[in-house]
Structure 1
Amino acid sequence: MLTASAVADRYPSNTALYADPELAEGVDYARRFRRNEWFDNDLTQRYGVQRTVILAPHGGGIETGTSELCLAIAGYHPADLATSGPVHDYWMFEGLRGSGNGDLHVTSAHCDDHVARSLAAGSLNAVGLHGCKESQAGLPDGTQAVLVGGRNTTLKSRLITRFTAAGVRAIDAANIPDLNGDDPDNIANRTLLSKGAQLEITTSLRLAMFGTNTRADRKNTTLPIFWSFTNATRAAIADVEAAQPIT
């Protein structure tokens, strides 16, 4: 069954969007990613590899704030990409227009970007970042909350626990069809384990994360709630990774 957002999409896939001659990469949209280098030439030791990828399929002006969160959760400061602590692979698609970025929305189950698919398929875990309106979640306007979905119930549970401890209202999205992220084709669920997590962040919560909510200024005006959200997500990932031995 198609979600409401999928029905409303102008493009049925990323491939179709990239093929539109009326769109220009670097003007209308951009793609950013990082795949961290792996190298193990030691015959006696095993070295840890990246086990989690962070995804923002609707970054930039499409679902504002998700690009900056993608970088921060992956371990890179959104202002200068300085690292702090463990880093994760990431991928994002961003709307760059001054207006009309909603036309660039491709629902996560239709995301066929080759890099996004490759990163997800090579990872045990994935966290997909999204923005939603309070009304989509059945919440009153102004509610600051994150709806936690996806098929990885262990990661979901850790995320809810960590958000709650950080003072961020977290709601299990299991019973909200348009936000539950349980479609096997969702890019966040295309992992080695065929399951991941999806975070739908309300508009009000995302607005509270930045002093100036513009594409140019968000990365430079992150507020404490931005970092509380980021640190809680990173802690939940660390919890799950700790139980996943290197094989």
Structure 2
Amino acid sequence: MSEAEAEVQGEFIERLEDDGHHQRLVVLAPHGGAIESHTDRQAEQVYASLGSHDSTLWACKGWRPAGNAYRAWHISSGDLSVHSFPLLGSLGARRFRWAVSFHGYRGPDVLIGGRAPALLKSDVRNAVARALHGSGVRVRIADPGERYSGESASNLVNRLTVDAAGGIQIEQSRHPRKLYGDAVAAAVSEVCKSWIAADARR
């Protein structure tokens, strides 16, 4: 089913772009379409910027003609199972160096979480903060134990990485997703490129 058909019919689709081999970066958007709007476009932008040699894209998109796609299709990141998503299942045995996942939430800030090292989260925070300079949107690293911190090892963004220690979760309210989504994605792309380049020099 095409994306256009799924939107008209109020359906849910899964997409994967992957060369089947590399283990560098996986970019995730589990709640795309109208579930958490614009997050799938951000993930696609990062993947397009980095290319298939250095990145993999996994996204799901859901719609409902009368609205409430979130209620119909949202599955928490800790509950996403490789047994329920065939394309995700093809990644289940692989462990990536890093994973970045785009999300939407109702908090006021752009929140950077996950189990990646503090330095990597700081890189993302600083890059996104520069991209949003002057917008009035605050960008911060999630506090330990904070809701939406993405720190659980069962969270998909962590689960797909080596030792569940390379995940970056980006939570955004509707305002920055709608008005600055491209700028956020571009900032994340540049950070990921720098990580991959530095890793290649080691």
Q: TM-score, normalised by structure 1?
A: 0.65
Which residue number in structure 2 is paired with residue 158 of structure 1? 123
What 5-or-longer segments of structure 2 have no aligned partner? 1-8
Deviations 1:121-178 (A, max 9, x none): 33111001100113xxxx3xxxxx4100000023211101211222354211124622
**What SS does structure 1 have at the residue aligned with 2:164?**
coil
Q: Which has the higher helix share?
A: 2
How far apart are the structure 1 equivalents of 2:10 and 2:106? Answer: 26
Identity of aligned residues (%): 27
Matched, 1:29 2:5: no
Contact 2:15 2:87 (C-alpha < 8 Å) held by counterparts: no
- Mapped to 1, the partners of 2:98 and 2:23 lie a distance apart of 10
For residues 39 and 177 of structure 2, the distance between their equivalents in structure 1, rounded to whole angstroms, comes to 8
Give the whole-Å Cα distance in 1 for the aligned partners of 2:76 and 2:155. Answer: 8
Which stretches of structure 1, 4 residues or more, deviate above 6 A after TM superposition? Answer: none
Cα distance in 1 between the residues matched to 2:90 and 2:153: 16
Q: In the aligned structure 1, how far is the partner of 2:50 from the partner of 2:78?
A: 31
Superposition TM-score, scaled by structure 2 size: 0.78
- Asked if the contact 1:57/1:93 (under 8 Å) is kept, the reply is yes
Q: Are the aligned partners of 1:127 and 1:197 in contact in 2 as well (CA < 8 Å)?
A: yes
User: Which gives a bigger RCO, structure 1 or 2 (Cα 8 Å, sep 6+)?
Assistant: 2
| Correspondence 1:184 to 2:149 | no
Give the match's secondary structure for 2:60: strand
Alignment of 1:1-247 (within 5 A): 27-36=10-19, 38=21, 49-75=22-48, 84=49, 86-87=51-52, 88-98=55-65, 99-102=67-70, 103-112=72-81, 113-116=85-88, 118-119=90-91, 121-134=94-107, 139=108, 145-153=109-117, 154-167=119-132, 169-175=138-144, 177-190=146-159, 191-195=161-165, 196-208=167-179, 225-245=180-200
Change (3 A) 1:245 1:114: farther
Read off the aligned partner of 1:55 and give its amino acid letter.
L
Evaluate the alpha carbon distance shift between residue 164 and residue 117 of structure 1 in structure 2; reply closer, same or farther with a 3 A threshold.
farther
CA RMSD of aligned residues (A): 2.3
